[in-house]
Amino acid sequence: MSNKYDVIVIGSGPAGYVAAIRAAQLGLKTACIEKWKGKDGKGVNGGTCLNVGCIPSKALLDSSHKYHEAKVSFGSHGIGTGDVSIDVPSMIERKERIVKQMAGGVAGLLKANKVDSLYGTGKLLANRKVQFVDFEDKETILEAENVILASGSIPVNIPVALVDNDVIVDSTGALEFQEVPERLGVIGAGVIGLELGSVWGRLGSKVVLLEAMESFLAMMDQQISKEAQKIYKKQHLDIRLGCRVTGTEVVESKGKKEVVVTYTDKDGKDAKEIFDKLIVCVGRRPFTDGLLSDESDVKLDERGSIYVNDLCSTSAPGVWAIGDVVRGPMLAHKGSEEGVMVAERIAGQKTVMNYDIIPNVIYTHPEIAAVGRTEEQIKADGEPYNIGTFPFQAIGRAVAADESDGMVKIIAHADTDRILGCHIVGPSAPDLVQQIAIAMEFGSTAEDIGMTVFGHPTFSEAVKEAALAVNGHAIHMPNRKKRK
Ligand code: FAD
Ligand code: NAD
User: Which atom of ligand 1 approaches the CA of 36 most closely?
Assistant: 11
What 3-state DSSP class applies to 3? coil
> 329: Cβ below 6 Å to ligand 2?
yes
Tell me the DSSP string of 133-152: EETT--EEEEEEEEEEE---
Nearest to 226 by CA among 375, 416, 7: 375
- By CB atoms closer than 10 A (0-12, 13-18, 19+), residue 253 is exposed
Q: Which mutation among 10, 48, 320, 331 tests ligand 1's pocket best, with the greatest number of atoms within 8 A of CB? A: 48
Nearest to 190 by CA among 101, 279, 118, 271: 279
Cis preceding linkage at 155, omega within 30:
no
> 43: Cβ below 6 Å to ligand 1?
no
pLDDT, tens digit, 9 for 90 and up, residues 178-202: 999 999 999 999 999 999 999 999 9
Q: What share of residues in the chain are helix, strand, coil (percent, to 5)?
A: 35, 25, 40
CA of 269 to the centre of ligand 2 (A): 24
What 3-state DSSP class applies to 30? strand
At the second CATH level, the architecture of 366-470 is: 2-Layer Sandwich (3.30)
Rg of the Cα atoms in the chain? 24
How would residue 1 be classed by pLDDT, with cut points 50, 70 and 90? low
Domain 159-282 has CATH 3.50.50.60: yes
User: Which atom of ligand 1 approaches the CA of 290 most closely?
Assistant: 18
> 120: Cβ below 6 Å to ligand 1?
no
- Output the pLDDT for position 482: 61
- Output the pLDDT for position 480: 75
Within this chain, domains 159-282 and 366-470 share the same CATH topology: no
Buried/exposed 359-387: b ≥16 CB within 10 Å, e otherwise: bbbbbbbbbbbbbbbbbeebeeeeeebbb
Strand partners, 271: 263
* Residue 50 DSSP one-character state: H
- Output the pLDDT for position 483: 63
Amino acid at 54: C
Which sequence spans correspond to the domains of the chain? 4-155+285-346, 159-282, 366-470
Which residues fall within 8 angstroms of residue 102, CB to CB, at 6 or more apart? Answer: 46, 50, 55
pLDDT, tens digit, 9 for 90 and up, residues 21-71: 999 999 999 999 999 999 899 999 999 999 999 999 999 999 999 999 999
Give this prediction's pTM. Answer: 0.97
Nearest to 257 by CA among 343, 164, 188: 164
- Residue 287 sits at the vertex; the CA angle it makes with 118 and 193, to the nearest 5 degrees, is 115
At the second CATH level, the architecture of 4-155+285-346 is: 3-Layer(bba) Sandwich (3.50)
**What's the CA gap between 424 and 335, in Å, rounded?**
23
**What's the CA gap between 243 and 247, in Å, rounded?**
12
Q: Do 288 and 306 meet the contact criterion of CB atoms below 8 Å apart?
A: yes
Sheet holding 277-280, edge to edge: 168-169, 277-280, 183-187, 206-210, 238-240
- Residue 237 sits at the vertex; the CA angle it makes with 235 and 243, to the nearest 5 degrees, is 155
pLDDT, averaged across the chain: 97
Active site residues: 456
In this structure, which residue's CA is closest to atom 14 in ligand 2?
Answer: 282
What 3-state DSSP class applies to 456? coil
**What's the CA gap between 412 and 244, in Å, rounded?**
38
**What's the CA gap between 46 and 263, in Å, rounded?**
37
User: Which atom of ligand 1 approaches the CA of 15 most closely?
Assistant: 51
pLDDT, tens digit, 9 for 90 and up, residues 127-175: 999 999 999 999 999 999 999 999 999 999 999 999 999 999 999 999 9
